[in-house]
């Protein structure tokens, strides 16, 4: 590689001698440019980082100004080879500096081609870039222009590859390798572009030709790898998994940095996982990590695979590792290796890559850890993680919190609610109460006295996303108010339970009552088309949660009244709860017990019989997925188990749906 | 309205360009006794208010756009146009400073100018528009790739780290609706405005925040404006006001957006953490916050807290005078912030507010204060319950009588409230204005020292008044001149437009003839402008002569080409004439495309006088309805058509009477043959007197009397022989 760096004045002088007077004027300027290039080599040795970047920038400026001088003269055949080489070098620096390919480069190549045609006496105006290339490669037969043109062609290929114009790249390489017809896809169904790239023979550069910063051969290799990787990712995106797999596997044999190799392995892992081969996926993800430990998305993918496999220990370990890696400040890995100005990283841009390799935030990973621990029943760990997360959220702006729609982190009040439920499960009731108090105080100013929501039958079927995703029926402002009410009510509910566990019945009753009062602020006005509560829940997922919270609050208050011996009030609460959720087994059992206790045995017997008859079809009920339901899940998990069990009538499931929901893997993908 | 009696002190004068300082970029900051000032040039000045000396001048590579101070580390951060943000440590200045002589009133001697080179550049970025500071984080706003980018940098300790700062995070978003044509010209005058709003209880040392224009907002306004997530994260919010009028906010702790994977968020315009708060529809010049409600004075604890407690009202000011105030409503129904728009007299150059309920803003002619404390203004105590704590329905600006101030800052030097206003005038003068109400001042007996002080104050007051008077006088004169000119223009226009049919009071006669110029025969058009009206055509009028070369018959494709010649008229008194001559081509010269249409018009540019009389570009559109006659299509001025005539080959034809070849013909005697023919045919019945063969029908119309005038038809036939001869000699040349 170093040979390409020995850019000594002599080749240029040779060219100048031949080019005659037009180049003589450049002699002086060339000297100054070459000084720059010498300084650039110094920059390279001085190490990576800013110095190298500055050196590269100076080089680009030097090449740019040289090119301007050359292009200021009319195009002439003898000097074209030099001009194209300077253009090539200048573009290489421009690309590497801007960390991606921008519009301007394509136009500069166009301009270069037009000048080539001019020199040959052919007009090249008004032609598209593809047509220009065709014309240039067909009309210009000068031997010594062949190498510079092919070199520029490779660069053009890179530009098109970066813009995902695979068709144009294929066409160009057909021209370059002088293949008239599309290659027969006979040999093993190999991809045409890859075959063309392989078949393309780079013209041998003579000793006297001006030197280049990155050789065409290297560029060819990089193009090949990028083309394979890019097409593999596109296949992955399109769901064309076997093709994607073969392309990605081909890409691993290519010429690229460790970082890209790790990305390719991760993509293979992702691909095989989708193909239903989790073990193979794990192997590839491991390889990705072996190649480059900084490839954190491999870790998060691995966590996902372990979750699928049900290996909670391994999953949590992977997540913990990921968090640890994210916590340590990322090393400044991006430094320009001067030998590879064009790298695979610069050429492959697809949505799949962006989503697969977007860097996750520590807070997201911490949340996943906490949530998974809680779901796996490791309450103590979950509490630790939740408390860490809450501390993380309060930290300064250095710790960024992802609040956007694709984040794994839910809305902040929901994080608090989950933390409260974890604390409560661990028996840290006072702490749970404090966390809930935070939600209550924050929502204090945000909820209206009454919230009247008119439900439209058309407002159905929409998953509640984060801020925005405007539901057709409900204005976002109202939805946000409704969410605040749900959060506040849930916080009161948790407080009620916590006080219950602390044995403070009166406090508990106060919280449950507040919870019910908050819920009363919502007035759901349904259109004529909505009759049943199911339909309403469908139109507004939060409505379902509201009902559940009301039921749980009524049950909690009823049992606390019972505790205090105020059976009649307890009875009223239980009856009310049955009205809210007809047929709810827990409510029925509470009611049954109270009736029995109050000596209203006939009523109790009738109720029991009715319940027995309804028991069978009662489980079919499923819940609409969504974030708000999840905060209910958290609520349900916390629910003191013994309290339910103590009043359980045999053969009745405990709060159906809710429990089953808790065990289910969340639908959201970890995106790292 | 009148609020006279504020004491104004001149502190120092700074150099300013000829046209005076433009608003937007100059900046005045004050910390303790030091004033940091940039006047839009490449200099930043440090002025000691106590010692009244200029302590340091820093010179930057380019125009300074923005200056912020981090008092904690005693560092100045300066945004230089097109290069980036520089950091200057103020502690170094004493080392660097060569002793300046005591008099810092005028421009200090150049020896104390410290040039700042690129080593001090901590954020090199050519796309930067503005920035702000919050403790040790630097928030920048830049424009690249058709998007705005808010970036967060952490300032690192230079002793420990190799870099001066590190970028943490960024978010890009577009203010979609004004990337188009007409907005750009206007928008480019203005820089976006950036500031930080802290959540209650999170602000550290208050002055750091205060210095950089940031503020702390109270609950519930913070939650209502920015949402519960930002409130629960205790995240400061970044507020951005854009030249297109949009006001956006984004939480400092969530400066990231999902990469636009599917492009959905692109379509929506805003990435989720970015929220549009309002759209002002005019360039935002200021974002600030006020405390409009006073805590009950009987509660000593609250009194204690008052200094530190946050603001309860956000104000945003647009360039043309629209002001938006946002405040939490105490109503029970809707939990939304109350947003009220006010219209102040624009154009507003700058504004400032400092924790109280008053906002100060400066126009060209005055600084005014508006008070948003509604309760104190409510006259009817019974209404307070209903309308308590909402914003006042109208504002009554109180004048401070200081004109043409381009940068304002409230000094926190005194212990309580707004006490002193620092202002930089367009002429480069730094002033301080004492804001203590004159009512509060108790009359005291004059001691000699106080008398001296008083006299000083009065003198400075007189200076201020005289500057103001001269400014106003200039403005009035300008407006008077504009009105006089307009009157003239309207008179002339009315005279020309009212008698369309009859003879116009201003005429323009077009004749074409051959003349001899510089030994070459040239075909010229001469236009004689005659003013027979009773008004004088003043300076500003222009005679426009437009030549339409109609396309030749054999060249259908070529479009009509028009050439316009304009001749400014210095003064054309009633009854006088002015002749202008246009050479069209020489005999040997270029081919003329005939026929040629000559159209003459008078034009008066309104832009000039209206621009000088007012600052608003809209005024012209307001002044003149779209369908006013005579208004030129682009509304630039008034265009009055005078005459139009066609010149054809006949007028061009020159008949050579001299038969001797080589002898130049006497051009002076040569008149237009057609004219001659027509003239002659009117009086003579004998057509043969003309050289051309002709027919005339009917013959001798005059003989039949005036009452019988049949339509006269004349046809002129040019003998081809004659033409051939003429053209032959024409072609052979002389």
pLDDT tens-digit series, residues B49-74: 888 888 888 888 888 888 888 877 78
pLDDT tens for each residue of A316-328:
888 888 888 887 7
B219 contacts on A by Cβ (under 8 Å): 445
| Contact between chains at B152 and A397 (C-beta distance less than 8 A) | yes
Q: Is the pLDDT of residue A465 over 50?
A: no
Chain B CB contacts of A48 under 8 Å are none
Distance CA A516, CA A548 (A): 11
Instruction: State the ipTM, two decimals.
Output: 0.71
**What pLDDT is recorded for position B560?**
57
CA distances from A563 to A500, A516, A644, B481 (A): 10, 19, 14, 93
Nearest-CA distance B610 → chain A (Å): 43
What's the pLDDT band for B632 if we cut at 50, 70, 90? Answer: low
What are the start-end ranges of the H helices in A533-566?
533-539, 541-563
- Asked whether the beta carbons of B83 and B95 are under 8 A apart, the reply is no
What is the enclosing helix (H) or strand (E) of A395? none
Tell me what pLDDT residue A329 has: 65
Chain segment A539-577, per-residue pLDDT in tens: 677 778 888 888 889 989 998 898 888 888 888 888 888
pLDDT for the residue numbered B71: 79
Residue A261: name the closest of A291, A282, A231, A281 by CA.
A291
Question: From A446, which residue of chain B is nearest by alpha-carbon distance?
Answer: B335
> Which position has the higher pLDDT, A630 or A158?
A158
Average pLDDT for B214-231: 84
**Both tokens of residue B564?**
């316009």
**Cβ–Cβ gap A394/B335 under 8 Å:** no
Nearest residue, CB atoms, A446 vs list B224, B255, B261: B224
pLDDT at A495: 92
Residue with tokens 């500069």: A108
Q: Which alpha helices (H) appear in A99-185, and where do they start and end?
A: 103-119, 129-139, 143-162, 166-176
Query: Do B254 and A401 lie within an 8 Å CB cutoff?
Result: yes
Chain A nearest CA to B356, separation (Å): 24
Q: What is the average pLDDT across B225-229?
A: 86
pLDDT in tens, B250-270: 888 888 765 543 333 333 344
**Residues of chain A positioned with their CB less than 8 A from the CB of B336:** 477
Give the separation between CA A669 and CA A661, rounded to whole angstroms.
17
Q: For the beta carbon of residue B461, count every other beta carbon within 10 angstroms.
A: 17
Q: Testing the interface with A: which of B153, B229, B265 to mutate, by most A Cβ within 10 A? A: B229
Q: Which residue has the tokens 């000793």?
A: A207
Chain A residues with beta carbon closer than 8 angstroms to that of B137? 396-398
For residue B257, give the nearest of A394, A399, A404 by CB distance.
A404
**For residue A204, what are the contacts with CB-CB under 8 A and spacing of at least 6?**
A147
Task: Name chain A contacts of B154, Cβ cutoff 8 Å.
Answer: 397-398
Q: Show which of residues 522-551 on chain B sit within 8 Å of chain A, judged by CB atoms.
A: none
- d(C-alpha A159, C-alpha A232), whole Å: 19
Kindly tell me if the per-residue pLDDT of B366 is higher than 70.
yes
CB contact under 8 A, B224 and A411: no
What is the percentage of chain B residues whose pLDDT exceeds 90? 1
Q: Quote the minimal CA–CA distance from B93 to chain A in Å.
A: 28
Give the model's pLDDT for residue A491: 92
Calculate how close chain B gets to A85, using CA atoms only, in Å.
29
Q: Exposed e or buried b for every residue in B299-314, given b needs 16+ CB within 10 A?
A: eeeeeeebeebbbbbb
Select the more confidently predicted residue: B168 or B204. Answer: B168
The residue behind tokens 């405390």 is: B291
CA nearest to A645, candidates A590, A571, A569: A590
Count of CA atoms in the C-beta half-sphere (13 A) of B327: 25
Closest residue, chain A, to B224 (C-alpha): A446
Q: How confident is the model at residue A492 (pLDDT cuts 50, 70, 90)?
A: very high
> What is the distance, to the nearest Å, from the Cα of residue B694 to the centroid of all Cα atoms in its chain?
65
Residue in A516, A520, A519, A482 with CA at minimum distance from that of residue A496: A516
pLDDT tens, residue by residue, A44-72: 444 445 666 777 777 778 888 888 888 88
Average pLDDT value for residue range A196-222: 73
B252: contact with A, CB 8 A cutoff: yes
Query: Residue B275: is its pLDDT beyond 80?
Result: yes
pLDDT in tens, B279-336: 888 889 999 888 877 654 444 444 344 445 678 889 999 988 899 998 887 665 556 7
| Average pLDDT of span B373-398 | 60
Interface contact flag, A393 B233, Cβ < 8 Å: yes
Nearest to A468 among B255, B272, B333 (CB): B272
**Strands ordered across the beta sheet of B27-31:** B27-31, B34-38, B43-48, B53-59, B113-115
- Shortest distance between the Cα of B137 and any Cα of chain A, in A, equals 8
Residue B253 at interface with chain A, using a CB cutoff of 8 Å? yes
b/e B348-375 (16+ beta carbons within 10 angstroms → b) = bbbbbbbbbbbbbbbbbbbbbbbbbbbb
Q: Give the closest-approach CA distance of A523 to chain B in angstroms.
A: 13
Give the span between the Cα atoms of A230 and A234, in whole angstroms: 6
Residues from chain B contacting residue A396 (CB–CB below 8 Å): 137
Give every CB contact of residue A199 below 8 A, 6+ residues apart in sequence.
A177, A179, A183
Q: Is residue B415 classed exposed, middle or buried when 0-12, 13-18 and 19+ CB atoms within 10 A define those classes?
A: exposed
The predicted pLDDT at position B316 comes to 92
At A386, is the pLDDT very low, low, confident or very high (cuts 50, 70, 90)?
Answer: very high
Sign of the dihedral defined by the CA atoms of residues A404, A406, A411, A415, in that order: negative
Nearest CB neighbour to A401, from listed B137, B168, B253:
B253
- The more confidently predicted of residues A668 and A534 is A534
The b-or-e profile of A192-207 (16+ CB within 10 A means b, else e) is bbbbbbeebebbebee
B339 touching A, CB under 8 A?
A: no
Residue among A406, A412, A449 whose CB faces B229 most closely: A412
Alpha-carbon gap, residue A561 to A496, rounded angstroms: 13
Mean pLDDT score across all residues of chain B = 72
Please give the pLDDT value at position A493: 92
Residues in a beta bridge with B87: B77
* Most confident among A91-105, A180-194, A658-672, B453-467 (mean pLDDT): B453-467
Q: What is the pLDDT of residue A397?
A: 73
Q: Which residues contact A126 (CB under 8 A, 6 or more apart)?
A: none
Region A405-416 average pLDDT: 83
Among A26, A88, A90, which Cα is nearest to A57's? A90
* CA angle (B107, B108, B111) in 5-degree steps: 135
pLDDT in tens, A81-128: 888 888 888 887 777 776 655 667 777 888 888 888 888 777 777 778
Q: Which residues of chain A lie closer than 8 angstroms to B228, CB-CB? A: 411-413, 442-443, 446, 480, 484
B132 touches chain A (CB under 8 A): no
Q: Is B182 exposed, middle or buried (0-12, 13-18, 19+ CB in 10 A)?
A: exposed
Which chain B residue shows the shortest CA-CA distance from A397?
B253
List the single residue in A355, A450, A467 with the smallest CB-CB distance to B272: A467
**Which positions in chain A have a beta carbon within 8 angstroms of at least one beta carbon in chain B?**
50, 351, 354-355, 358, 361, 393-394, 396-407, 411-413, 416, 438-439, 442-450, 466-468, 477, 480-481, 484
> Residue A610 contacts by C-beta under 8 Å, 6 or more apart in sequence?
none
Residue B27: how many other CB atoms lie within 10 Å: 25
| Binary contact (B168, A446; C-beta < 8 A) | no
Contact B257 A401 (CB under 8 A): no
Mind telling me how many Å the CA of A99 is from chain B's nearest CA?
A: 14
Mean pLDDT calculated for residue range A298-316: 87
The whole-model pTM stands at 0.68
Three-state DSSP at A660 gives helix
pLDDT (tens digit per residue) in B414-439: 444 557 888 888 888 888 887 765 44
- DSSP assignment of A578-635 equals HHHSTT-HHHHHHHHHHHHHTT-HHHHHHHHHHHHHHHGGGGG-----SHHHHHHHHH
| Least confidently predicted of A202-206, B67-71, B364-368, B382-386 | B382-386
- Considering only the beta carbons, identify the residue of B252, B265, B334 that sits closest to A397: B252
Task: Name the residue among B251, B254, B261 with its Cβ closest to that of A354.
Answer: B261
Query: Which range (A210-219, B359-368, B371-380) has the least confidence?
Result: B371-380
Instruction: Give me the helices (H) in A278-378, please.
Output: 278-291, 296-309, 312-327, 344-347, 351-357, 362-375
Q: In this complex, do B273 and A403 lie within 8 Å of one another by their Cβ atoms?
A: yes
Contact B333 A361 (CB under 8 A): no
pLDDT tens for each residue of A506-528:
889 999 999 999 888 888 776 66
- Which pairing describes strands B147-155 and B137-144: parallel, antiparallel, or unpaired? antiparallel
Count of C-beta atoms within a 10 Å radius of residue A48: 15
User: Is-contact A63 A33, C-beta < 8 A?
Assistant: yes
CB contact under 8 A, A444 and B272: no
Nearest to B236 by CA among A350, A190, A397: A397
Q: Which of B163, B220, B272 sits opposite A403 (nearest CB)?
A: B272
The string over A322-351, giving b where at least 16 C-beta atoms fall within 10 Å of a residue's C-beta and e elsewhere, is: bbebbeeeeeeeeebebebbbbbbbbbbbe
Counting one residue from A and one from B, how many pairs have CB atoms under 8 Å apart?
A: 111
Q: Pairing between strand B84-89 and B237-241?
A: unpaired
Q: Do A445 and B220 count as a contact with CB atoms less than 8 A apart?
A: yes
- Looking up tokens 């390489």, which residue turns up? A173
pLDDT digits 0-9 by tens, B578-614: 888 887 765 555 566 667 788 888 888 877 776 655 5
Contact between chains at A411 and B229 (C-beta distance less than 8 A): yes
Q: How far apart are CA B528 and CA B510, in angstroms?
A: 7
**Tokens of residue A225, six digits:** 């790898």
pLDDT of residue A537: 61
- Whether the per-residue pLDDT at A594 is higher than 60: the answer is yes
Of the pLDDT bands very low, low, confident and very high (cuts 50, 70, 90), residue A294 is: confident
Q: Is B127 on the interface with A (CB under 8 A)?
A: no
| Nearest CB to B168 within list A400, A413, A481 | A400
pLDDT of B92: 66
- B713-716 and B694-697: which strand pairing? antiparallel
Least confident span in A24-38, A87-101, A615-629:
A615-629
Q: Cβ of B335 under 8 Å from any chain A Cβ?
A: yes
Reduce the DSSP state of residue B448 to 3 states and report it.
Answer: helix
**For chain A, what's the residue count?**
672
Of A287-296, B613-622, B689-698, the range with the highest mean pLDDT is: A287-296
The predicted model gives A178-195 an average pLDDT of 61
Residue B559, min C-alpha distance to chain A (Å): 24
Residue with tokens 């519009």: A103
pLDDT in the model for residue A531: 56
Mean residue pLDDT of chain A comes to 73
Q: Which residues pair with B314 in a beta bridge?
A: B289, B326
CA of B535: how far to CAs of A661, B431, B494, B504, B632, in Å? 92, 49, 11, 13, 22
């Amino acid at each position: 590689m170093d040979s390409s760096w020995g850019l000594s004045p002599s080749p240029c002088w040779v060219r100048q001698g031949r080019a005659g007077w037009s180049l003589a004027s450049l002699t002086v300027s060339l000297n100054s440019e070459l000084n720059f290039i010498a300084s650039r080599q110094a920059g390279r040795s001085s190490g990576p980082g800013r110095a190298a970047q500055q050196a590269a920038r100076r080089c680009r400026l030097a090449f740019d100004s040289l090119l301007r001088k050359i292009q200021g003269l009319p195009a002439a055949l003898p000097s074209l080879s030099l001009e194209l080489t300077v253009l090539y070098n200048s573009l290489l620096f421009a690309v590497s500096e801007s960390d991606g390919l921008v519009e301007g480069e394509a136009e500069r190549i166009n301009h270069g081609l037009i000048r080539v045609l001019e020199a040959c006496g052919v007009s090249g105006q008004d032609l598209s870039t593809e047509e220009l290339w065709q014309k240039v490669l067909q009309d210009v037969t000068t031997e010594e222009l062949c190498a510079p043109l092919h070199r520029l062609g490779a660069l053009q290929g890179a530009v098109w590859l970066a813009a995902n114009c695979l068709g144009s790249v294929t066409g160009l390489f057909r021209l370059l390798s002088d293949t008239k017809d599309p290659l027969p896809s006979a040999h093993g169904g190999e991809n045409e572009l890859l075959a063309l790239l392989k078949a393309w023979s780079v013209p041998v550069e003579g000793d006297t030709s001006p030197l280049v910063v990155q050789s065409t051969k290297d560029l060819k290799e990089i193009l090949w790898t990028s083309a394979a990787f890019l097409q593999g990712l596109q296949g992955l995106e399109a769901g064309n998994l076997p093709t994607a797999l073969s392309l990605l596997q081909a890409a691993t044999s290519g010429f690229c940095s460790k970082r890209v190799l790790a990305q390719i392995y991760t993509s293979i892992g992702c691909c095989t996982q989708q193909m239903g081969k989790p073990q193979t996926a794990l192997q590839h993800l491991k390889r990705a990590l072996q190649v480059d430990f900084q490839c954190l998305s491999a870790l998060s993918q691995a966590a996902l695979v372990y979750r699928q496999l049900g290996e909670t220990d391994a999953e949590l370990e992977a997540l913990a590792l990921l968090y640890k890696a994210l916590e340590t400040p990322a090393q400044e890995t991006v430094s320009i290796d001067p030998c590879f100005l064009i790298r695979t990283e610069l050429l492959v841009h697809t949505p799949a890559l962006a989503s697969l390799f977007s860097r996750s935030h520590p807070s997201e990973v911490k949340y996943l850890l906490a949530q998974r621990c809680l779901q796996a029943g490791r309450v103590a760990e979950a509490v630790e993680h939740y408390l860490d997360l809450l501390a993380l959220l309060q930290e300064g702006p250095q710790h960024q919190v992802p609040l956007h729609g694709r984040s794994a982190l839910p809305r902040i009040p929901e994080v608090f609610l989950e933390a409260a439920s974890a604390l409560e499960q661990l028996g840290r009731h006072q702490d749970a109460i404090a966390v809930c108090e935070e939600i209550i105080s924050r929502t204090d100013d945000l909820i209206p006295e009454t919230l009247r929501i008119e439900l439209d039958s058309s407002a159905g079927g929409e998953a509640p996303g984060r801020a925005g995703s405007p539901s057709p029926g409900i204005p976002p402002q109202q939805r946000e108010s409704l969410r605040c009410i749900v959060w506040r009510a849930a916080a009161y509910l948790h407080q009620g339970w916590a006080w219950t566990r602390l044995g403070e019945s009166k406090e508990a009753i106060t919280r449950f009552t507040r919870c019910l009062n908050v819920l009363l602020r919502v007035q759901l006005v349904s259109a004529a088309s909505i009759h049943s509560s199911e339909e309403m829940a469908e139109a507004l997922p939060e409505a379902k949660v509201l009902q559940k919270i009301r039921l749980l609050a009524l049950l909690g208050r009823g049992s606390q009244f019972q505790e205090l011996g105020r059976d009649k009030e307890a009875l009223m609460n239980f009856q009310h709860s049955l009205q809210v959720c007809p047929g709810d087994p827990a409510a029925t059992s509470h009611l049954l017990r109270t009736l029995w206790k109050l000596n209203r045995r006939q009523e109790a017997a009738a109720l029991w019989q009715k319940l027995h008859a309804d028991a069978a079809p009662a489980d079919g009920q499923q819940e609409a997925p969504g974030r708000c339901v999840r905060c209910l899940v958290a609520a349900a998990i916390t629910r003191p188990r013994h309290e339910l069990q103590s009043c359980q009538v045999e053969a009745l499931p405990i709060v159906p749906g809710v429990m089953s929901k808790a065990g289910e893997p969340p639908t959201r993908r970890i995106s790292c | 309205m009148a609020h006279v009696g504020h004491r104004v002190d001149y502190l120092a004068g700074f150099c300013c360009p000829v046209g005076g300082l433009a608003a937007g970029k100059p900046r005045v900051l004050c910390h303790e006794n030091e004033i940091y000032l940039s006047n839009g040039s490449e200099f930043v000045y440090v002025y000691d208010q106590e010692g009244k000396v200029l302590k340091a001048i820093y010179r930057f590579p380019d125009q300074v756009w923005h200056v912020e101070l981090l008092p904690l580390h005693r560092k100045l951060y300066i945004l230089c146009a097109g290069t980036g943000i520089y950091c200057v440590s103020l502690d170094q200045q004493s080392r660097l400073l060569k002793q300046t002589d005591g008099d810092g009133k005028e421009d200090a001697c150049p020896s104390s100018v410290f040039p700042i080179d690129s080593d001090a550049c901590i954020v090199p970025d050519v796309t930067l528009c503005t920035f702000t500071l919050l403790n040790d984080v630097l928030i920048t706003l830049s424009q690249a790739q058709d998007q705005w980018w808010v970036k967060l940098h952490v300032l690192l300790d230079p002793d420990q780290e190799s870099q001066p700062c590190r970028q943490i995070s960024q978010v890009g978003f577009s203010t979609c609706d004004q990337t188009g044509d007409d907005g750009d010209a206007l928008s480019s005058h203005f820089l976006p405005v950036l500031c930080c709003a802290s959540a209650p209880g999170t602000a550290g040392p208050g002055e750091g925040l205060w210095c950089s224009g940031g503020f702390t907002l109270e609950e519930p306004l913070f939650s209502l404006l920015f949402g519960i997530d930002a409130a629960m994260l205790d995240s400061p919010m970044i507020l951005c006001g854009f030249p297109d009028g949009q006001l956006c906010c984004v939480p400092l702790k969530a400066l990231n957006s999902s990469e636009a994977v599917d492009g959905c968020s692109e379509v929506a315009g805003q990435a989720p953490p970015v929220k549009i708060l309002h759209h002002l529809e005019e360039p935002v010049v200021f974002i600030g916050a006020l405390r409009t409600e006073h805590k009950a004075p009987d509660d000593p604890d609250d009194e204690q807290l008052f200094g530190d407690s946050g603001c309860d009202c956000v104000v945003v000011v647009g360039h043309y005078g629209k002001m938006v105030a946002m405040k939490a409503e105490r109503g029970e129904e809707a939990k939304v912030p109350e947003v009220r728009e006010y219209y102040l007299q624009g154009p507003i150059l700058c504004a400032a507010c400092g924790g109280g309920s008053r906002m100060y803003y400066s126009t060209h002619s005055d600084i005014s204060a508006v008070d948003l404390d509604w309760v104190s203004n409510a006259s009817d105590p019974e209404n307070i319950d209903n309308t308590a704590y909402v914003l006042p329905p109208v504002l009554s600006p109180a004048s401070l009588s200081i004109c043409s101030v381009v940068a304002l800052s409230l000094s926190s030097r005194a212990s309580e409230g707004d006490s002193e206003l620092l202002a930089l005038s367009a002429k480069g003068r730094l002033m301080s204005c004492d804001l203590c109400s004159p009512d509060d001042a108790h009359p005291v007996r004059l001691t000699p020292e106080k008398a001296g002080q008083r006299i000083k104050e009065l003198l400075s007051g007189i200076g201020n008044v005289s500057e103001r008077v001269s400014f106003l006088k200039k403005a009035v004169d300008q407006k008077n001149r504009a009105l006089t000119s307009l009157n003239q223009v309207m008179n002339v226009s009315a005279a020309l437009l009212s008698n369309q049919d009859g003879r116009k009071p201003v005429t323009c006669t077009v004749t074409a003839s051959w003349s001899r110029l510089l030994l070459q025969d040239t075909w010229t058009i001469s236009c004689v402008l005659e003013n027979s009206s009773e008004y004088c055509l003043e300076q500003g009028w222009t005679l426009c002569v437009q030549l339409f070369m109609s396309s030749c018959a054999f060249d259908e494709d070529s479009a009509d080409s028009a050439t316009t010649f304009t001749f400014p008229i210095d003064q054309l008194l009633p009854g006088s004439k002015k002749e202008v001559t246009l050479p069209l081509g020489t005999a040997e010269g270029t081919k003329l495309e005939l026929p040629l249409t000559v159209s003459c018009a008078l034009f008066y540019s309104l832009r000039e006088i209206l621009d000088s009389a007012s600052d608003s570009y809209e005024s012209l559109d307001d002044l003149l309805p779209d369908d006013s006659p005579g208004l030129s299509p682009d509304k630039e001025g008034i265009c009055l058509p005078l005459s139009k005539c066609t010149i054809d080959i006949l007028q061009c034809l020159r008949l050579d009477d001299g038969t001797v070849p080589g002898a130049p013909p006497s051009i002076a005697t040569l008149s237009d043959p057609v004219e001659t023919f027509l003239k002659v045919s009117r009086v003579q019945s004998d057509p043969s007197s003309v050289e051309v063969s002709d027919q005339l029908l009917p013959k001798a119309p005059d003989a039949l009397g005036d009452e019988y005038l049949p339509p006269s038809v004349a046809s002129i036939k040019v003998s081809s022989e004659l033409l051939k001869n003429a053209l032959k000699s024409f072609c052979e040349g002389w």
